[in-house]
């Protein structure tokens, strides 16, 4: 695996970590709940459903945020909970092992990738591939104690093909492969 592929893998893990941290905060304030409302009636037809392409893109981009949140959580249980919504269950232990290595070095995520999605292809029943000319130059790792940047995730134009599978009604990231060729539209 070449260095930008390793960096992309580290970013994927970092993005998942960042998404988890965003959800934490103080407990909810005590409030009085209103009376139970009467059942709502929809005006018009059935609720709109997003096209598959949009669902796949949302899962792909959410995966990157989630890896950062999982990394920033610095907690294996919390990271597992975050990652489980974006990758297959079997992939979570390996990602947690990778996060533990970063945690031992006191690294957290900084920044985020910029997406330049070229295409989304349905590759079979319940499978898809996102072709992205991703800009990884705005994301990486920093020392949590000093704030010093300790590594970037990759170049400004990395052709990345990420595979996803529809599992129990949810698109999950199953792999990512950097392509050694220039990004093109």
Give the pLDDT of the chain (185 residues) as one tens digit per residue.
Answer: 444 434 444 444 444 333 333 333 333 334 344 454 444 444 454 556 889 999 999 999 999 999 999 999 999 999 999 999 999 999 999 999 999 999 999 999 989 999 999 999 999 999 999 999 999 888 889 999 998 888 877 778 889 999 999 999 999 999 999 998 888 65
Residue 168 belongs to some domain of the structure: yes
Q: Which pLDDT value is given to residue 163? A: 97
Q: Which pLDDT value is given to residue 150? A: 85
Domain count of the chain? Answer: 1
Residue 104 belongs to some domain of the structure: yes
Q: Which pLDDT value is given to residue 184? A: 67
Q: Which pLDDT value is given to residue 38? A: 44
Residue 36 belongs to some domain of the structure: no
Residue 151 belongs to some domain of the structure: yes
Instruction: Output b/e per residue, 6-35; b: 16+ Cβ within 10 A.
Output: ebbbbbbbbbbbbbbbeeeeeeeeeeeeee
Residue 157 belongs to some domain of the structure: yes
Residue 96 belongs to some domain of the structure: yes
Please answer whether residues 135 and 113 qualify as being in contact, where contact means their C-beta atoms are separated by less than 8 angstroms: yes
**Which residues are within 8 A (CB) of 64 and not within 5 positions of it... i.e. 6 or more apart?**
11, 12, 15, 16, 112, 113
Residue 31 belongs to some domain of the structure: no
Please answer whether residues 128 and 120 qualify as being in contact, where contact means their C-beta atoms are separated by less than 8 angstroms: yes
pTM: 0.72
φ and ψ at 109, to 5 degrees? Answer: -80, 150
CATH of the domain at 149: 3.10.450
Domain coverage including residue 76: 3-21+51-178
Torsion, Cα 62 65 66 69, to 10 degrees, reads -160
Rounded Cα distance between 12 and 15, Å, is 5
Q: Which pLDDT value is given to residue 154? A: 74
Please answer whether residues 16 and 86 qualify as being in contact, where contact means their C-beta atoms are separated by less than 8 angstroms: yes
């Amino acid at each position: 695996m070449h260095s930008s592929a390793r960096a992309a893998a580290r970013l994927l893990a970092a993005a998942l970590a960042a998404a988890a941290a965003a959800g934490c905060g103080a407990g909810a304030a005590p409030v009085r709940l209103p009376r139970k409302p009467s059942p709502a009636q929809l005006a018009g037809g059935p609720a709109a459903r997003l096209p598959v392409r949009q669902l796949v893109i949302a899962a792909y981009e959410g995966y990157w945020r989630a890896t950062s949140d999982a990394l920033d959580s610095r907690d294996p249980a919390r990271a597992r909970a975050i990652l489980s919504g974006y990758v297959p269950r079997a992939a979570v232990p390996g990602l947690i092992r990778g996060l533990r290595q970063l945690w031992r070095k006191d690294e957290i995520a900084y920044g985020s990738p910029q997406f330049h999605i070229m295409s989304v292809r349905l590759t079979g029943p319940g499978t898809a591939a996102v072709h992205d000319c991703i800009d990884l130059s705005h994301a990486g790792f920093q020392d949590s104690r000093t704030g010093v940047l300790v590594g970037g995730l990759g170049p400004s134009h990395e052709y990345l093909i990420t595979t996803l599978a529809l599992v129990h009604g949810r698109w999950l990231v199953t792999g990512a492969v950097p392509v050694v060729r220039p990004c093109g539209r």
